[in-house]
Amino acid sequence: MKKIFLLFASVISFIGARADEGMWIPMLIGKNYEEMQRMGLKLTKEDLYSINHSSMKDAILQFGGGCTAEMISGTGLLLTNHHCGYDAIAGLSTVERNLLDNGFWAHNMQEELPAKGVTALFLQKMVDVTDEVKAVVGNTNGEEYNKKFDEIKKVIETRESQKEKFVANVKEYFNGNQYFLLIYKKYTDVRLVGTPPKNLGKFGGDTDNWVWPRHTSDFSMFRIYAGADNEPKPYAADNVPYKPGKFLPVSIKGVEEGDYAMIFGYPGRTNRYEVSYGVDLAVNTVNPSIVAIRTMRLDIMKRHMDKDKNTYLQLTSLYSRIANYWKYFIGQTEQLKRLNVVDDKKKSEDEFVAWQRANNMDASLMNKFQAAFADYKPYAKHATYYNECYRASALARMAGALKPLYEYLEKNEKPNDDSVKKYTTIAQTARRALAKEYDPGTEKELLAEMTKMYYENVDKSQLPDIYEKVIFNKECCGKKTCKKPTKKGELVCYMGTTYAQYADYVMSHTFVTDSITFNAFLAKPTLAALKNDAAVQYAMSFVTNYTKNYQPKVEAFNYKKAEYAKEYLREMMIQKKDKMFYPDANSTMRVTYGKVKGYNPQDGLHANFYTTLDGLVAKYKPGSEEFDAPVELINLYKAKDFGQYADGVDGKIHTCFVTTNDITGGNSGSPCINANGELIGAAFDGNWEAMSGDIAFDKKYKRTIVCDIRFILFLVDKLGHADNLIKEMDVRK
């Protein structure tokens, strides 16, 4: 075992040749440095990552928990994507002052708006803690491994957080073959500075999403505030702009095909080392289920959002998130099939087994994978429908949060006040968080359709008992002569015959939807009240059925898969010792490098590396939900009032460009940086032809779509008239 790990350690340091593929650990970027230089990089290793002085890493931050942003001034100004700031912008909007639809620009710091709940995490350092973790977890697997890993993880994080001065996080890399401690500084006073109107920030809507060519101005600006000592401090009127250790200078020189391009950021999750059985399951079972559920969910939400502006503002951020990955799963499935990824992985796995046998090794690993997936497959659709369909209902999740209280009261005739308080607090916290997703009209239709979809698509032998006991109860429900039950605490009988009637019944026989009745219940909770609540009964049936009968099967599968995946990657890195490996994305800082480059999406077609404002205007449709644009922008275009932001060659405003960089979700808002360390754009999307990228990187088709910094500054200056923001940046021609 020790020999294998030593070989593993040597493999990760090998310098390979595939420049554009790979999400590399910044602390170890020196291993890639010579190749980066050959591609055009002018910076030193220390410029990229250093713990002794300011470096590129100090200008990059994790924004809002799921995106990336970059510092672009010495006074706390940051740039990220419009869709990363979407939730905060929508939350600051009202029907009377609709910042989301109309845009917003602060012309001085006093006009900036506190973005409640938005956080900014700055990486301070990374430390390899593999030896310390392995000393505790040893060769354990499954539940025992998770328990031991959580124990040592807590020990290290508690030790390194220094009384909450820092945020410490221990992460697995290379499927658990290596571990790093990451230490962050967390700022919570973040304020909205500027955003283009939604019709520019989401120009093209779902039609253009994940598609090139693109003309979207997907950006927003915020500012971080700190205490007088530049340390994190909760929002206060006397806080001052944060002074970053480094901020990125901005180049408006423009880009040419073949230019060096580098992206720092926080990619969320990839699964590049997935086996063929996993890809097959995704293509044929999981992804189609997600798409079908989300299609219905989006249709319902949109109907209600279109009817009422308040509902629109309440649900638009959630709608946007659901829609984004709805189309992602459509594209991923299509491209995994088109690129024959299952067959390619099977071929690689056959070669792996042949190598094992040739080296007198145990060659049973692939058979173990096959058996594990075969055992799990009958429950895969149910697991997907539970997470995507049942949990689509905000009411179901609010009611489901009462399960710990329900079970405690059921087991204790004389409940302890402290225990009751603990469980009521859990329910209260969950309800507050979910209330922003709850719109009565939307919820009623959603609950009906999701209940119907669950019944029609999940194996009948796996369904929760709510269908048999209530919804389809022939002895009572649906009969006009049926009387209300008389037993204490028994649920009032459902009298309807359709899913819509059932949803109406649930919502009219629950205390969960109303904050007053909900709080009154929490003040004096009883088991009888829970059992007599239609929403609680609904949620308890689904949650209990899944957690008791199917979650153990899902967890057992995940344990086995993790164990096999760890072994597979470790041995594959020995098998392919001449190949450079990188760890899957795990929401930690990575760097990827490549070039500005167009591509051929299909035979006979060439996609240029950039788009222009000409293309946006050609798509422009006044009043369109997806292709409208501000009249002021059209007037600027007609007048050719482009200022210093026009391209030096063709005199046009370049809107977006593509590079060969390797990114995924979480990289949204990441800076695209040139060879001199200057900001040239904000990465915001991938292209349709390479939607398989999270599982299988394709060098021929994979592209990152970047909003050109010149387009961004043009809109800030000419449309937003916020030249105050331009002046605080280091803009280089």
Q: Which residues are catalytic?
A: 83, 218, 668
Please state the length of the chain: 733
552 cis-preceded (ω within 30 degrees of 0) = no
> Which residue(s) pair with 171 in the sheet?
180
Nearest to 247 by CA among 276, 269, 224: 224
Residue 97: exposure state from Cβ atoms within 10 A (0-12, 13-18, ≥19): exposed
Helix (H, G, I), strand (E, B) or coil at 683: strand
Tokens of 190: 């973040």
What are residue 573's phi and psi, to 5 degrees?
-70, -25
Helix (H, G, I), strand (E, B) or coil at 598: coil
Q: Give the Cα separation of 567 and 371 in Å (integer).
A: 16
Contact 154, 547 (CB under 8 A): no
Q: Give the Cα separation of 509 and 503 in Å (integer).
A: 10
Helix (H, G, I), strand (E, B) or coil at 124: strand
Contact 225, 241 (CB under 8 A): yes
Contact 556, 550 (CB under 8 A): no
Q: Give the Cα separation of 567 and 204 in Å (integer).
A: 44
Give the DSSP H/E element, type plus range, for residue 583: none
Q: Give the Cα separation of 202 and 197 in Å (integer).
A: 9
Instruction: Give whole-number Cα distances, 475 to 127, 373, 483, 500, in Å.
Output: 65, 41, 11, 20
Contact 561, 554 (CB under 8 A): no
DSSP annotation of 420: H
Q: Give the Cα separation of 326 and 294 in Å (integer).
A: 6
> How many Cα atoms occupy the beta-carbon half-sphere of 570 within 13 Å?
18
Q: Give the Cα separation of 334 and 608 in Å (integer).
A: 23
Contact 491, 579 (CB under 8 A): no
Q: Give the Cα separation of 116 and 99 in Å (integer).
A: 15
Helix (H, G, I), strand (E, B) or coil at 668: coil
Instruction: Give whole-number Cα distances, 295 to 257, 292, 525, 632, in Å.
Output: 38, 5, 38, 35
Give the DSSP H/E element, type plus range, for residue 449: helix 440-457
Look up residue 450 and give its amino acid.
M
DSSP annotation of 24: B
CA-derived radius of gyration, the chain: 27
Contact 183, 170 (CB under 8 A): no
Contact 282, 345 (CB under 8 A): no
Instruction: Give whole-number Cα distances, 523 to 62, 509, 526, 694, in Å.
Output: 39, 19, 10, 47
> How many Cα atoms occupy the beta-carbon half-sphere of 581 within 13 Å?
25
> How many Cα atoms occupy the beta-carbon half-sphere of 571 within 13 Å?
22
